[in-house]
């Protein structure tokens, strides 16, 4: 009987010593990750560039190019560098209306091409999503000459148990 009471008290003490909290976790997915599904008309930069997250990015000049990424989480963001000419994308989550993402460096006069000139950063995001499965749809922006993608960041919420002292 004493053993059963001791076991019960220990279990109660252990249960009360843990705190469960809902915590957000950011996950960065590089453009080369196989979880991003590209249409066939994309290419990957051939030379590594320190301005790109992970050294490289995907690029397309085909107006029908798309990329899709399915994730579970509460927010999603697109990362890309900036270029001295018209580069951009349309972004939408699930069945929402697409939003234009301008990747052109506004402080440089347009050129006929060349490499990116501003380091990759978050340029667009959707927040306040339910913590469930979503699909990010990326497509060609009509005002751009190129479509680019460098990385995707998503946020998911999960319970984490912490030992209380």
For residues 109 and 105, give the distance between their C-alpha atoms in angstroms, rounded to a whole number: 8
- Would the pTM count as exceeding 0.85? no
Report the alpha-carbon distance of residue 77 to residue 94 in Å, rounded.
Answer: 14
Q: Which candidate, 94, 99, 86, 112, places its Cα nearest to that of 139?
A: 99
pLDDT tens readout for residues 150-164: 999 999 988 766 666
Q: Kindly state the percentage of the chain with pLDDT values over 90.
A: 72
Q: What is the C-alpha separation between 103 and 131, in angstroms, rounded?
A: 28
Residues whose CB is less than 8 angstroms from the CB of residue 10 and which lie 6 or more positions away in sequence, other chains included: none
Q: What is the pLDDT of residues 141-150, one digit of tens each?
A: 999 999 999 9
CATH number given to 19-163:
2.60.120.260
pLDDT value at position 150? 98
Q: What is the rounded distance in angstroms from the CA atom of residue 73 to the CA atom of residue 22?
A: 13
Tens digits of per-residue pLDDT, 38-51? Answer: 999 999 988 899 99
pLDDT in tens, 63-107: 999 999 999 999 999 999 999 999 999 999 999 999 999 999 998
Amino acid 161: pLDDT: 65
| pLDDT of res. 43 | 96
- State which H helix or E strand residue 13 sits in: helix 2-16
pLDDT at site 2: 46
pLDDT at residue 128 greater than cutoff 70: yes
Inter-residue contact 129 to 73 (CB < 8 Å): yes
The answer to whether residue 37 scores a pLDDT higher than 50 is: yes
Confidence band of 21 (pLDDT split at 50, 70, 90): confident
Q: What is the mean pLDDT of residues 52-69?
A: 96
């Amino acid at each position: 009987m004493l053993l059963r009471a001791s076991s019960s008290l220990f279990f109660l003490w252990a249960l009360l010593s843990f705190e469960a909290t809902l915590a957000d976790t950011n996950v960065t997915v590089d453009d080369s990750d196989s979880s991003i599904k590209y249409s066939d008309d994309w290419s990957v930069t051939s030379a590594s560039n320190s301005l790109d997250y992970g050294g490289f990015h995907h690029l397309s000049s085909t107006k029908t190019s798309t990329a899709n990424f399915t994730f579970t989480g509460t927010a999603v963001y697109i990362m890309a560098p900036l270029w001295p000419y018209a580069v951009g994308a349309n972004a939408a989550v699930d069945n929402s209306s697409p939003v234009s993402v301008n990747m052109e460096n506004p402080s440089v006069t347009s050129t006929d091409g060349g490499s990116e000139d501003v380091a990759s950063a978050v340029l667009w995001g959707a927040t306040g999503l339910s913590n469930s499965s979503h699909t990010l749809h990326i497509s060609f922006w009509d005002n751009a000459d190129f479509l680019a993608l460098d990385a995707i960041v998503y946020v998911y919420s999960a319970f984490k148990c912490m030992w209380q002292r």
